[in-house]
Amino acid sequence: MNRTLAFAGTSLVLLSSGVACAPNNQPLPDRSMTPNVLTSREIADGWRLLFDGRSTAGWRGYRKPSISAGWQAIDGSLVRAGDNAGDIVTSDRYRNFELALDWKVLEGGNSGIFYHATEQGDYIWQVAPEMQILDDARHADGKSPLTSAGANYALHPAPRMPTMTFLPTARLS
């Protein structure tokens, strides 16, 4: 059975213990100013929130029964707010899913989202692929398509949206 998941709103994604996860002083888009909720259409389509925008409920440390105090819900974002926060995973397990999210990263930040992880390794990066979260302009990994934001780290470059060129074919008089 396919399950569809949503991680929407001002959510900061966070399955890596990189230095990237912290509040951003930049204003957020209007969409991010609303609570982290699903639309009636998303609910009907089977989406599920992974972050409620207010707490760390539904998350725990990698290979741990609970989440560390180094992770906090701050201003509608899930934030790595302390040293030794560790990697986190969802409390529930998912096999097949679609993940939609908004993320933000500190200047020069480097983090990531690991998926299809098992807890058989000492570190999550040993047992799961990672979608890179990165400030491409200010981090050395941003120079390579294989390690820049959105890449399946060191395996596949981030998908790029095709560009569209408008070529008018008629003259208006």
Q: State how many domains the chain has.
A: 1
**Chain centre to alpha carbon of residue 8:** 9
Could you give the C-alpha distances from 141 to 36, 99, 146, in angstroms and in order? Answer: 31, 23, 8
Residue 170 lies in a domain: no
Residue 62 lies in a domain: yes
| Nearest residue to 115 (alpha-carbon basis) of 99, 133, 137 | 99
Residue 166 lies in a domain: no
Q: What CATH number did the domain enclosing 26 receive?
A: 2.60.120.560
Residue 3 lies in a domain: yes
The span from the first CA to the last CA of the chain, in angstroms, equals 57
Residue 85 lies in a domain: yes
Q: Write the pLDDT tens digit of every residue in 103-137.
A: 888 899 999 999 999 999 999 999 999 999 999 99
Q: Write the pLDDT tens digit of every residue in 10-67.
A: 233 343 333 333 334 444 444 455 668 899 999 999 999 999 999 999 999 999 999 9
- pTM, 2 dp: 0.71
Residue 111 lies in a domain: yes
Per-residue pLDDT at 162 = 57
Q: Please write down the long-range contacts of 56-64, taking CB distance under 8 Å and 24 or more positions apart.
A: 58/90, 58/91, 58/92, 59/88, 59/89, 59/90, 59/91, 60/88, 60/89, 60/91, 61/86, 61/87, 61/88, 61/89, 62/86, 62/87, 62/88, 62/89, 62/117, 62/119, 62/123, 62/124, 63/119
Residue 167 lies in a domain: no
Per-residue pLDDT at 35 = 66
Q: Yes or no: say if 149 and 112 are a contact pair by the CB < 8 Å rule.
A: no
Residue 36 lies in a domain: yes
Q: Which domain holds residue 88?
A: 1-159
